[in-house]
Amino acid sequence: MIPTIYEHGFLVVDKEPGMTSHDVVAIARRALGTRKVGHAGTLDPMATGVLVLGFNNGTRLLQYITDGDKSYQATIVLGVSTITDDFEGEVIATVDASAITDEQINAELGSMRGTFMQRPSSVSAVKVDGERAYDRVRSGETVVLASREVTISRLDILQIRRSKKRVEIDIEVTCSAGTYIRAIARDCGDGLKVGGHLSALRRTRVAGFTTTGAASIAGLKSAEFSTLDLADVARATFPVREIALDEKLELSFGRTLTANPADGVYAGISPANELIALLSNVDGKAKPIAVFAAAH
């Protein structure tokens, strides 16, 4: 059998629990036959769902995908605090949460809708003096990270369940990049003075990518998956500027074109559906900020 050649593009994977995002990248490298694979936003080992991978020239678009908003389904447990703000961490406090009412839960989670300052979980990938926060915590250090501005545009309560002294809350969240769902669980528990952590997390969307058509890990290993064309991803991510053949040549040499219709990044795409360059207005001209077409 002749192996499939994957040149440039994107691959959406439905990550399984118990593996890191880097584990998925390693499997994808073997499946795609290239070392040049990156992902748009880490998923914790406990989490499942959408992990967007770019390969070869697709890696150059990942930063724009990473900046997009994301959607999650999650379960919060009230009454138990952990060092990691999720079920994988050591339990540091247990409190009877049975007296907490649905109205209190609605009010506390409702206060997190909108734009506000959120403190990331101490066990996160945020760097402190060049070292990941989770590495510092695992070495025994106490880490309190600086708060950052996040936006939660949607936070719906799907179900509230009660079991003895614990309360479980299923939620659905749409939020900006950099929002920590574990921090939502922690802050909800802290606000209600009973503590809280995350017991389940599934990412259902990253920017325009969902689990629909996503490859499974088994599919990656057995080469049963489909990739996304670079131009199609660019069309779904940016406004499009159609590029004529003479303009393609100019861009391949890094030269500017007449200005785009508006500010912001445009995808310059040829009639043959080839991504030529990303363009941004600078000093009245459309300047290529990333060129994908080679000069001939």
User: What are the φ and ψ backbone dihedral angles of 134, each rounded to 5 degrees?
Assistant: -65, -30
- For residues 132 and 123, the answer to whether their CB atoms sit within 8 Å is no
39 in Cβ contact with 63 (< 8 Å): no
Q: Which of 44, 85, 86, 187 is labelled catalytic? A: 44
- CA proximity to 148, closest of 123, 171, 126: 126
Alpha carbons 182 and 267: distance in angstroms, whole number: 35
What is the length of the chain? 296
Angle at 27 between CA 219 and CA 55, to 5 degrees: 95
Q: Which amino acid is at 73?
A: Q
59 φ, ψ to 5°?
A: -60, -25
Strands (E), 79-191: 80-82, 91-94, 114-118, 127-128, 131-132, 148-163, 166-175
Q: Of 242, 255, 243, whose CA–CA distance to 282 is shortest?
A: 255
Beta bridge partners of 228: 10
Report yes or no: 294 and 265 within 8 Å, Cβ to Cβ.
no
In the residue annotation, 263 being an active-site residue is answered as no
Residues marked as catalytic: 44
